[in-house]
Amino acid sequence: MSPSHNHYRNYFMFKRFSMMATLIALSMIQSQADVKQQPPDSVDWSRGVIVAYGTVRVDISEQGRPMDGDSGTVISLNRGRVAAYRKARERAIENMTRLVKGIRVDSDTMMSDLLDRSDVVQTRIVSIISGRVKILEYPIDFAISGCRAELSIGDILPAVPYTYPGDEFPARIDNPIPTDYTSLIVEARGIPVEPMILPSIFNEEGLEVYGRFYVDIRHASKFGIVAYAHNEDEAMKIRSAGGHPYYAVAVKAMKGCPVLGERDIRKIFSSGKTVESLKKCRVIFIIDKIKE
């Protein structure tokens, strides 16, 4: 037998072995019941982001070979992975849309309510998700593709069909020694305060003293008009807290928003500089962690 003949025989044996190894590996993966666990989809109010995942396995034929899931045609493993990444991305975007629908806009409205009522809001949300979402594709296993989609909560604001008139905050001149503060931190743990894009703060008589009617919405691009934290350390790490925040404890909740006592409101609104901080959305709520 000639050397060239041996060379070709060895080459085809190697190719056959490689193909068999690939098919065995694919068959082993296909036989596994569970896909490697991914983190849960979530709305992380403390980070100001919505995160969703998609996971898809390469379609495998009964003979253990990669195939096109729609036509059943046998394809290369690389082509199968590309198709799996595309489907994983679509699945992550679908999960992202589901999470967006479940976000509370204000004390009376869910995002799903706005989507049901307005074609304009639907169009805006589709445009925001397609244009602003950050996509990360990665292999989970030999034949399993994953995708992580992330969107800033603040990016949703342009889809909300509300006005922001920039009304003047209620001025108070009855505090004898006004003090300037860089922000307002509201301790709201232990009461039913819900995270939302456009929350309010009420006084004990039920009047709104902070909300979308008063703020300069241009400063709400990341977290909305309020940032959220789960403890004091997290709150102080948020840039908008500044070096000298005013710390107030909510006396109760109203419509899912905190209520402040008269003493705190008098101190907050007696300083022009503190009011300017509020207008710039330098407000942080410390709330309980949402149980999954």
Number of domains in the chain: 2
Q: Is 171 exposed, middle or buried (0-12, 13-18, 19+ CB in 10 A)?
A: exposed
Residue 211 in any domain: the answer is yes
Residue 60 in any domain: the answer is yes
Q: How far is CA 117 from the centre of its chain?
A: 23
Last residue of a domain, one of 92, 127, 159: 159
**pLDDT single digits (tens) 6-35:** 544 444 444 444 444 444 344 444 434 344
CA distance 150 to 152: 7
16 phi, psi to nearest 5 deg? -65, -40
Residue 188 in any domain: the answer is yes
What range does the domain containing 197 cover?
183-286
Same domain as 155, residue 40:
yes
**pLDDT single digits (tens) 78-137:** 787 888 899 999 999 999 999 999 999 999 999 999 999 999 999 999 999 999 999 999
Same domain as 136, residue 86:
yes
With 70 as the cut, is the pLDDT of residue 45 above it? yes
Same domain as 142, residue 214:
no
Give me the residues paired with residue 52 across strands: 149
As given in the structure block, the two tokens for residue 97 are: 């849309």
Same domain as 280, residue 189:
yes
Same domain as 227, residue 124:
no
Q: Is 31 helix (H, G, I), strand (E, B) or coil?
A: helix
With 80 as the cut, is the pLDDT of residue 156 above it? yes
Threshold 0.85, pTM exceeds: no
pLDDT bin (cut points 50, 70, 90) of residue 181 is very high
Q: Which of 107, 108, 113, 281 is nearest to 194 (CA)?
A: 107
Other beta carbons less than 10 A from residue 204's beta carbon: 13
Positive or negative: CA dihedral 136, 139, 140, 143 = positive
Q: Is 148 helix (H, G, I), strand (E, B) or coil?
A: strand
As given in the structure block, the two tokens for residue 185 are: 């931190």
Residue 127 in any domain: the answer is yes
State the average pLDDT for the chain: 85
Q: Which of 135, 138, 145, 136 is nearest to 35 (CA)?
A: 145
Residue 176 in any domain: the answer is no
pLDDT bin (cut points 50, 70, 90) of residue 177 is confident
Residue 213 in any domain: the answer is yes
Q: Among all chains, which residue has been given the structure tokens 């109010």?
A: 45
Q: What is the CATH number of the domain that holds 102?
A: 3.30.110
As given in the structure block, the two tokens for residue 9 are: 């025989």
Residue 242 in any domain: the answer is yes
Q: Which residues contact 80 (CB under 8 A, 6 or more apart)?
A: 58, 59, 66, 67, 68, 143
Positive or negative: CA dihedral 14, 17, 18, 19 = positive
Positive or negative: CA dihedral 150, 152, 158, 163 = positive
Same domain as 142, residue 76:
yes
Same domain as 135, residue 73:
yes
Same domain as 187, residue 105:
no
Same domain as 223, residue 124:
no
Same domain as 210, residue 125:
no
**What is the DSSP code string of 110-133?**
BHHHHHHH-HHHHHHHHHHHHHH-
Residue 40 in any domain: the answer is yes
Same domain as 42, residue 147:
yes
Q: According to the model, what pLDDT value does residue 46 have?
A: 93
CA distance 73 to 57: 16
**pLDDT single digits (tens) 194-213:** 999 999 999 999 999 999 99
Same domain as 273, residue 238:
yes
